[in-house]
Structure 1
Amino acid sequence: MDTLQLTNESTTIIENNGSNEESTLVLQRVNCPSNDNVINEIILPSKINGMIPNEVVSKPLFIPKPFIEANTSEIGLHTLKNECVIPVFSKDNERTIAHQEFIDIALESALKVFPHHSFDAPEIRVSHQIKGRTPDAIQKNVKDLLDHERTQYFERMAFIIRIPSIVETINGNEIALCLGGVRSYNLENLYNKKTIEKFKFFIGFQVKVCCNLAVSSDGFVEEMRVSSYQELESKILEVLQNFNAEKQLAQMKQLSEYSLTEHQFATLLGRTRLYQHLPKKDKVDVPFLSFNDGQLNSIAKDYYEDTSFSRNENGDINLWNVYNLFTQANKSSYIDTFLDRNVNAFNFSNSLLKTLNGSSNYHWFLS
């Protein structure tokens, strides 16, 4: 029987397997503000080797804001497992790797790499619902369908899993280590025989105050091509094990040390709008920026109005805040593009820093 002991310094799980010996797993306690309205489930590994978790406790953590908005809706892992059918490759009826399997594989892999840490329950967002019906309901009107006669799956899914026991503070903002992924069935040819399946996966950080994701190119795989459950697990483990958290943290902390004046920010925003309409021959020489006009409008608005990342009283804004204005605007992206844009925001912000230090690569945006 497992028991949970709580102290001011740590959380310890003591597992008693019937012998006189006890194995313990110590997890770092995170000091969180008291807020009865903010409750997250924390998954605690029940074994030191960190396989499937079987302990869940409630604990205040992040203000519940979606990490992506756009046309998505929240869904539970239980719903994915019990109320959604699994798409197949139509020519041979071979099944795809289901959304819930992707999430389970990511969680199992994370538990192997971070065996002494706690995990939030996965936060899952879906879009593009594909509806169907069972054969016995083929003649029924839609309004007459019973629940068990309806089928569904979601073409696109994104999820994140926070590791709240690994935290850091940048410019007064607490961030936690975070991993997640995206699956889009529209990128697969389901009308053919089973072939390579494609996933997006990342490990990075999430800002507590706004739930913006901070993802660098070092922790992101844009197209993870796999043919089996085992291959997907192997590639996820490789990404997790090779991720250099200290490097990304150092880059983000450096952003807070450099600022743009109001004039420079206005120039930047104006140039980003012009960038959308540059002739192809001119755009070749300018670094890529993937944000659209609607998102740039949000950045301009939040420069004045955002409660956490707006300008200071002099009109200046540091690059950490600029970066978060971009990642905040990125929440309006569709599931299959938001991770790519998030990485673009990170690279763009760091290149602005280099420009302020004399590099000419991004000079066009500030000239």
Structure 2
Amino acid sequence: MELQTIENRTEQRNRNEVTELPCTGKLGETSINSTNFIKANTDKVSLSHLEKDCIIPVFAKDNEQTIAHQEFINSALEVVSKHFPNENIDNPEVRVSHMIKGRTPDAIHIPTKDLLPYQKTIYYERMAFSCLIPGITRKIGDHEIALCFGGVRAYNNENLYSKKSLEKFKFFIGFQNLVCCNLCISSDGFAGELKSSSYKELSQKISEVVSQFDMENQYQELSDMRNYYLTESQFAQMLGKMRLYHFLSKKEKANIPKLDLTDNHFSTVAKDYYKDSSFCRDENGDINLWRVYNLFTGANKSSYIDTFLDRGVNAFEIAQGLSKAISGNSDYRWFLS
């Protein structure tokens, strides 16, 4: 199937009032997501809403336009479709925050309550999206995971008051737990700062990330987490040390692996250790690291958009480090000692 033009896709969306995907494989079906992949301070919007209802920010000194949120999403969809040409790709789940409002010049003296819809302008400072490839699934115990990809764009990381410069994006490809929609992201499937000046350059860099991602290796690493257990005492020790971490001196932190999660996350992890229906402790109080990892990624859903992916990668690193610590060979032993 040939790539559809942006104009044709927009026309189709206008007819159907649904978001249609630009891809070289089979076009999107109804998503099997039933839970949001991120929750904190975000609203769910459609790709069509970004294209039809939002203005595009520019760099103030030269009026050069930025790469719009919808262009980022379309770029990722087209690239991943080329890498997986025979797979369906679900409609993107798009979450936004920090709406920036404005008004048209003819509304300069109109009270806010009297503004007409066409006189209001908006765009979103921060945007995150995720897309499932439901035909590529694996099993970890009783949990099914599916390949997914997505990204984050945060205009607050750009200097929009200057001339046009390289723009920053975050992109990932990994797995999503279909039980809870937690994202499973490892460092080899994540680019924390893609710098691009054009749509074409952005597509090339996304393609590099997808090409380098070892899907089977990440699946094996996730699956192996089920072989390592923490006792209730060890779990409590770990959480206690994690709460202490942020109060350590710089010198002490230098000898300990980085920890991006915060006290709010740890409170959620502690609660779900007892109450989460899918990832709580067993009858003896023990819990395997696959469940611990999902407690971390579940708690991470409360992170803001601009820190969400980085903390997701950090959660994976923590789980990997703890598995080595249980075997006696890891800097993460500090969290269990």
What TM-score, normalized by structure 1, do the two folds share? 0.85
Matching residue's letter, 2:251: K
Q: Secondary structure at the match of 1:204?
A: strand
Report the equivalent of 2:51: 81
Matching residue's letter, 2:69: H
1:31-53 Cα offsets, whole Å, 9 max, x none, are xxxxxxxxx999695xxxx27x6
C-alpha distance in structure 2 between counterparts of 1:276 and 1:300, whole Å = 17
Report the equivalent of 1:95: 65
1:297 aligns with 2:267: yes
1:127-185 Cα offsets, whole Å, 9 max, x none, are 00000000000000000100000000000000011100000011211000000000000
Matching residue's letter, 1:91: K
Report the equivalent of 2:318: 348
Displacement after TM superposition at 1:276 (Å): 1.6
Report the equivalent of 1:247: 217
CA contact (8 A) 1:42 1:118 kept: no
| Paired positions, count | 322
CA contact (8 A) 2:19 2:46 kept: no
C-alpha distance in structure 2 between counterparts of 1:351 and 1:315, whole Å = 21
Q: Give the alignment partner of residue 153 of structure 1, picking from 123, 134, 143.
A: 123
Q: Secondary structure at the match of 2:165?
A: coil
C-alpha distance in structure 1 between counterparts of 2:89 and 2:21, whole Å = 5
Matches within 5 A, 1:1-367: 50=24, 55-58=27-30, 61-62=32-33, 64-367=34-337
Matching residue's letter, 2:79: S
Matching residue's letter, 1:249: Y
Task: Tell me how large the CA RMSD over aligned residues is.
Answer: 1.7
C-alpha distance in structure 1 between counterparts of 2:272 and 2:204, whole Å = 41
Matching residue's letter, 2:274: Y
C-alpha distance in structure 1 between counterparts of 2:177 and 2:285, whole Å = 23
C-alpha distance in structure 2 between counterparts of 1:243 and 1:262, whole Å = 35
Q: Secondary structure at the match of 1:174?
A: strand
1:313-335 Cα offsets, whole Å, 9 max, x none, are 00000000000000000000000
Q: Secondary structure at the match of 2:269?
A: helix
Q: Secondary structure at the match of 1:327?
A: helix
Matching residue's letter, 1:215: I
Q: Secondary structure at the match of 2:227?
A: coil
1:289-346 Cα offsets, whole Å, 9 max, x none, are 1111111000000000000000000000000000000000000000000100000000
Matching residue's letter, 1:359: N
CA contact (8 A) 1:41 1:120 kept: no
CA contact (8 A) 1:128 1:154 kept: yes
C-alpha distance in structure 1 between counterparts of 2:325 and 2:262, whole Å = 22
Percent of aligned positions with the same letter in both sequences? 56
C-alpha distance in structure 2 between counterparts of 1:269 and 1:152, whole Å = 42
Larger radius of gyration: 1
C-alpha distance in structure 1 between counterparts of 2:58 and 2:153, whole Å = 15
C-alpha distance in structure 2 between counterparts of 1:122 and 1:310, whole Å = 30
Report the equivalent of 1:4: none
Unaligned runs of 5+ in 2: 3-17
Report the equivalent of 1:7: none
Report the equivalent of 2:5: none
C-alpha distance in structure 2 between counterparts of 1:289 and 1:297, whole Å = 15
From the two aligned structures, give the one with the greater helix fraction: 2
C-alpha distance in structure 2 between counterparts of 1:41 and 1:58, whole Å = 10
CA contact (8 A) 2:29 2:90 kept: no
Unaligned runs of 5+ in 1: 1-12, 16-39
C-alpha distance in structure 1 between counterparts of 2:257 and 2:199, whole Å = 37
CA contact (8 A) 1:133 1:149 kept: yes
Displacement after TM superposition at 1:92 (Å): 0.6
Which stretch has the larger CA shift, 351-360 or 215-224? 351-360
C-alpha distance in structure 2 between counterparts of 1:269 and 1:118, whole Å = 40
CA contact (8 A) 1:42 1:120 kept: no
Higher relative contact order (CA 8 A, sep 6+): 2
C-alpha distance in structure 2 between counterparts of 1:263 and 1:104, whole Å = 48
Deviating 4+ runs (over 2 angstroms):
40-45, 55-59
C-alpha distance in structure 1 between counterparts of 2:326 and 2:47, whole Å = 45
What TM-score, normalized by structure 2, do the two folds share? 0.93
Report the equivalent of 1:25: none
